Chains A and B, each alone.
Chain A
Amino acid sequence: MLTEEDRALYDWQLDVPGFGEDGQERLRNTTALVSRIGGLGGPVAFALAAAGIGKLILVHAGNLRKDDLNRQILMRWEGLGKPRVQSAAETLSAFNPRIEIEVHDENFKEENAADLVKGADLIFSCAPLFEERFLMNRECVRQDKPMIDCAMYNLDGHVLPILPGQTPCLACMFPESPPHWKRRFPVIGAVSALVANVGVMEGLKLTAGFGTSNLGKMMLIDADRSSINKIDVKRRADCQVCA
């Protein structure tokens, strides 16, 4: 049951058709894992906190640098040189103190993958390294957990909601790391936030059970032309992860 404070906080979204008190309650009972809380993961965590997710697990190693600040909206100038997860937790707690936040000042890796995914109901893949993304995909498939893959480059982005066994997984789409990818690439914060919020909507719809499902589709966001296109995607019969 929602409390009076829940109703006061989330009053405007309780009116969203199909969402209502039931959706809000489901959200409150959900733990979301966000791998990296930079340009994509930061707005993901922020929007989940605003919507009233029960608990956030934030995973990101390292200290804040100046060149993070054009897009990493959970960070603060005062946080330069300090752990990113610390800034993120402070920002989110100040914004919505009712959200439980667990932070890990480390990246998603073999040693922590199983435990991190086990502790979450919904997983957001926002890391820059394909090794991390493929590992997260593999672990989500292994534990049968829904994963929202959010990615971007320049003025483009994609969102791929993954339900293991039902939709293509990340390895179905891209069976190996791209050979010509560069770790540093062009990013404008508004684009990463746009992609992130499309991803959050997919997560909210899956969790709260409302709206139109985009399972089995990849959403392609083009911020240059201000368009979102969807394509039907297929599971790969020879997928090394989910087949």
Chain B
Amino acid sequence: MKITFRYTSQLSTAAGTSEETLEFPEETSLIGLLGQVCMKHGPEFSKFVLNQEGSPVRTLVVALDGAQVDLAKDPCVESGSEVYLITPMSGG
């Protein structure tokens, strides 16, 4: 299945892109997908996404197809979905 990911701020820098479409072998839960994306981009990316226990960090906001999701519910993600990963920003 194909999933489009969008990244903001420090995540975008760590991934080297603000948007990418990735292919996964089978439908999986959102947190499962996050784990796979973190594997792809490495520790400089994953530190903004998952903690050492593999749970989402508290400062990560995730939107699935335009709506923020409750990560505690870990919804299933279908092919063609768009996942937005948002980390905090400030002023300057």
Which 10 pairs, one residue from A and one from B, show the smallest C-beta to C-beta distance? Answer: A151-B89, A153-B9, A231-B63, A126-B91, A232-B67, A153-B89, A40-B91, A178-B59, A178-B88, A174-B88
Interface bits B5-31 vs A (CB < 8 Å: 1, else 0): 010111011000011000000000000
Q: Is the CB of A225 within 8 A of B90?
A: no
- Binary contact readout B73-92 vs A (1 if CB under 8 angstroms, 0 otherwise): 00000000000101111111
Q: Mark B45-86, 1 if CB is under 8 A from A, else 0.
A: 001100000000111010100111010000000000000101
Which residues of B lie under 8 Å from residue A181 when comparing CB positions?
10, 88, 90
By the criterion CB–CB under 8 Å, are A234 and B70 in contact? yes
Contacts of A55 in B (CB 8 A): none
The contact sample of 11 A-B pairs, CB cut-off 8 A, is: A38-B92, A153-B89, A153-B90, A154-B9, A180-B10, A192-B91, A220-B84, A233-B61, A233-B68, A234-B68, A234-B70
Q: Which one of A20-28, A128-136, A138-146, A202-210 is at the interface?
A: A128-136
Q: Do B66 and A130 have beta carbons less than 8 Å apart?
A: no
Contacts of A222 in B (CB 8 A): 6, 8, 18
A153 and B91 in contact, given A158-B86, A225-B18 (Cβ under 8 angstroms): no
| B interface, size bucket | 20 to 34
Beyond A220-B86, A231-B63, is A156–B92 a contact (Cβ under 8 Å)? no
Scoring A133, A153, A174, A187 by chain B CB atoms within 10 A of each residue's CB, the highest score goes to A153
Q: Is the CB of A231 within 8 A of B68?
A: yes
Contacts of A127 on B, CB cut-off 8 Å? 90-91
Chain A residues within 8 Å of B, Cβ to Cβ: 36, 38-41, 71, 125-130, 133, 150-158, 173-181, 185, 187, 192, 218, 220, 222, 224-225, 229-234
A-B contact count (CB 8 A): 109
Give bound CA distance, A101 to B37, whole Å.
Answer: 49
Output the least CB separation between B66 and chain A (Å): 6
Residues of A within 8 A of B61 (CB): 173-174, 218, 233
Q: When the two chains form the complex, which single residue of B9, B63, B68, B92 contacts A40, counting CB atoms closer than 8 Å?
A: B92
> A41–B92 Cα gap in the complex (Å)?
9
